[in-house]
Homo-oligomer: A and B are copies of this chain.
Amino acid sequence: MGYAFGIDIGGTTVKMGFFQKEEGLLEKWEIATQKGNDPTVVLEDIKVAIYACLERHHVSKEDVEGIGMAAPGPVTEGGLLRGTVNIGWGDVYLGKEGERIFDISPVYIANDARVAALGEAIYGAGVGEKSMMLLTLGTGIGGGVVFDGTIHVGSTGVAGEIGHCTVDPYETAPCSCGKYGCLEQYASATGMVRVAKRFLAEEDMPSVLRDKENLTAKDLWDGVTAGDPLSLMIGKHVSRLLGITIANACYVVDPDLVVIGGGVSAAGEVLLDMVIAEYKPQVFPHSRGKKFALAKLRNEAGIYGAAALVFTV
């Protein structure tokens, strides 16, 4: 008893994790995501992977407490996964479909960024905290809010979509979501590059960033770490927009801990320190001591969080 699968369905691969409640992660591996409009195809591939794993570990399906799945689209409290653009799916009750196909119950489903937040809350940076907010700075910006070990989903499933909070009401370029001025346009990996290119065009000062052919967010934060003045200026600018948005979110939910994750967070303490410095002037004095941390589980946050969907019920 006490086994669970934590499954993180992405646009390219499906990350699989096999967990035991007390022992934690027993095995992890990946399978390819077959794109197309039929989720059944992906679920059938996952089914094969699940049963092969159970056989490897000599565990019967009756000893599986449940299966948790993360998917890259909004999921309502009722378990409806809506429009998973980068795989090609329409609206689907993926948990119910999973139960039917896997012949294992229950199957839980939640948004991948929210599941990563749960993973960090239960197994990562948030251990011991009552409430936590995660921002993942990757190609886009994901996020999630966790209260008392449970994802706060919200009535339409968008609670935690902090990357699409508007931070510049005067922006004229559209975000990938169709709105204007979303945090993601400035503080995701691609957003940071966009901002950096604007500064490079507008400012005359020399910079290590000028030599880069394919400028990346990593180049920017390497420049900040090296003390390159223009990199510092750009880093401060995007950190300010992060600080404002995090402060705004704290004026709504005021969590015990704010966690920054995603590929860009590999920049580490230098990024975290700049964001904290820009957050502080944006809140009342007695809220300035808020705890911040870097995410710990990196790419495994999804499978850990998906397992937590099962174990923390």
Contacts and interface: CB of A to CB of B under 8 A. Distances in A.
Nearest to A181: B244
A240 B169 contact: yes
Interface in A246-275: 247-256
Contacts of A153: 254
A166 B253 contact: no
Given A159-B254, A164-B284, A251-B159, A241 B290 contact: no
Interface residues of A, number: 49
Interface of A: 74, 82-83, 130-131, 133, 145, 152-162, 164-170, 177, 179, 240-241, 244-245, 247-256, 281-284, 286-287, 289-290
26 contacts: A130-B155, A131-B155, A145-B252, A145-B253, A155-B254, A156-B254, A156-B284, A156-B286, A158-B250, A158-B284, A160-B251, A161-B251, A161-B284, A162-B252, A165-B247, A166-B248, A169-B240, A169-B241, A169-B244, A170-B170, A177-B284, A179-B282, A248-B248, A248-B252, A252-B253, A253-B253
